[in-house]
Structure 1
Amino acid sequence: MIKAVIIDDELNARDLLEKTLDRYLPNRVNIVEKCNSVDSGVTAIRNHAPELVFLDIQMPEKNGFELFNYFDKINFEVIFTTAFDRFAIKAIKRSALDYLLKPINHLDLAEALKKFEKKNEGNAAQKKLSLLLENLNVNDQNVSKIAFPTLEGFELVHTNQILYCRAESNYCNIKKIDGSTKMASKTLKYVEGILPEHAFKRIHKSYVINLNYVVRYHKTNKEIELTNGEKLPVSFRKEEEFINAILQNH
């Protein structure tokens, strides 16, 4: 049986999906947990390591796409569920991911499961979700794409896919939200200069971070925690400037 988690803020939607699976596709899917938010879904995924996640897109506190910010590697497949979101559906189609329109039809559900069962294992899920984020970003007028110099040429990266940048001698390591890294053949100072000032801030001689992915600041330890769980140091000289930037950004 396929081990799965359902993430949907509507109780009726969660129950209906489970009942539809039990009625029309018995003994195919084992729902190990039903969650009402992205946060509880993250916990469930970490606890159960499901193969498949049924993920609602439109939820009040965090939308479904934000789930991927919490994982360095995506080791599960996703079937999106949505009542109405033409933009998201367009992006999902371009990324070759499955989606179901609510109310969910059992025939569509069966077809989605069939596709899931045929998909290759490995890092296919990670690549598709990275492509999904790229497609979403293409439709965002406020997102810029920057060309980072590399030893081979240039690497084009959407700025809102960058989690942080770390100095590596005369080079700069760029950590992306999908867990991958890119090495720019320029210093951190150079990279800092081409990033948008409103979203990125130097917090240490070795780090420039994306303010949008900061979860909390530990004043005692002088460190920040990012959405992927990583903790980075904040230097004494940069602390006040960083705090002001966070307050202005939010």
Structure 2
Amino acid sequence: MIKAVIIDDEINAQNLLEKTLDRCFPNKFNVVEKCSSVDSGVVAIKKYEPELVFLDIQMPEKNGFELFKNFDVIDFEVIFTTAYNQFAIKAIKRSALDYLLKPINSLELTDAVKKFENKSKSSSAQKKLTLLLENLNVNDQQVNKIAFPTVEGFELIHANQILYCKAESNYCTIKKIDSSTKMAAKTLKYVEEILPENSFKRIHKSYVLNLNYVVRYHKANKEVELTNGEKLPVSFRKEEEFINAILQNH
């Protein structure tokens, strides 16, 4: 059985999550302890050494992110549980970590647990949680490293190394300034959401562009030229928004 710890200041939320786990995954989880604070959660993790921690973010005394300051080595996976908070969710996504929005949906829980089961037993949890703390400590303009999910795991890329992203069905090609490409196992919409808003703009249904690498815009044929000489199409619907973003960015 999978040893799990639930950390949530709401007793009802703790009990509901445990019951949902029992219903969706009978005889698969052993919830060794349910905790109402970060401090009690730290004690439980050190005592039981769980494989998986369900961690609430918004709690009265300390938020969930502070839990990781108590561990030199993070050898457990984490699924965050939270009410809607765009900043926190963006940071979690940028770090390739899983989260569940409250009230927790059984289908989403099932999907998150399946992802956990398919993860390799490596240092990925440590790397992703370290990256999360870095992403939480900078503002949107200064985000450096983003973890892009791939078929093999995830790829760390500096935001300022990305020239543009292109939709490839349910995947996304990331073109870098050194001309190399990486394939993200996510849609362009997902990738757009985790990129810094002030630097990246959707210019077409198939392209999200880094505004810092724009050289010129050809209004007549609706093409944007980049520093590497490539030209990308700008859709009629996105043109005004794109031009305004360029003017604001510079």
Aligned twin of 1:35:
35
Aligned twin of 1:90:
90
Distance 2:109 2:28 in 1: 12
Aligned twin of 1:107:
107
For residues 78-103 of structure 1, what are the alpha-carbon distances to aligned partners after superposition, in whole Å with 9 as ceiling and x for unaligned? Answer: 00000121100001011110000000
1:140 positional shift: 7.2
Distance 1:137 1:27 in 2: 39
Distance 1:14 1:65 in 2: 18
Aligned twin of 2:122:
122
1:130-169 maps to which residues of 2 (within 5 A)? 130-139=130-139
Distance 1:136 1:144 in 2: 9
For residues 100-155 of structure 1, what are the alpha-carbon distances to aligned partners after superposition, in whole Å with 9 as ceiling and x for unaligned? Answer: 000001110000000001111121110000111111122279x999xxxxxxxxxx
Aligned twin of 1:75:
75
Aligned twin of 1:16:
16
Point out where structure 2 has 5 or more consecutive residues left out of the alignment: 145-250
Aligned twin of 2:59:
59
Distance 1:130 1:15 in 2: 29
What TM-score do you get using the length of structure 1 for normalisation? 0.55
Point out where structure 1 has 5 or more consecutive residues left out of the alignment: 146-250
Aligned twin of 1:7:
7
What TM-score do you get using the length of structure 2 for normalisation? 0.55
Total equivalences in the alignment: 144
| Aligned-partner residue type, residue 89 of structure 1 | I
Distance 1:61 1:115 in 2: 30
Distance 2:139 2:7 in 1: 25
Distance 2:57 2:140 in 1: 17
Task: Give SS of 2:137's match.
Answer: helix
Distance 1:144 1:124 in 2: 20
| Aligned-partner residue type, residue 13 of structure 2 | A
Distance 1:121 1:103, change over 3 A: same
For residues 189-231 of structure 1, what are the alpha-carbon distances to aligned partners after superposition, in whole Å with 9 as ceiling and x for unaligned? Answer: xxxxxxxxxxxxxxxxxxxxxxxxxxxxxxxxxxxxxxxxxxx
| Aligned-partner residue type, residue 133 of structure 2 | L
| Aligned-partner residue type, residue 123 of structure 2 | N
Q: CA RMSD in A?
A: 1.8
Q: In 1, are the aligned partners of 2:5 and 2:45 still within 8 Å (CA)?
A: yes
Distance 2:143 2:93 in 1: 23
Q: In 1, are the aligned partners of 2:7 and 2:38 still within 8 Å (CA)?
A: yes
| Aligned-partner residue type, residue 94 of structure 2 | R
Q: In 1, are the aligned partners of 2:82 and 2:100 still within 8 Å (CA)?
A: yes
Aligned twin of 2:47:
47
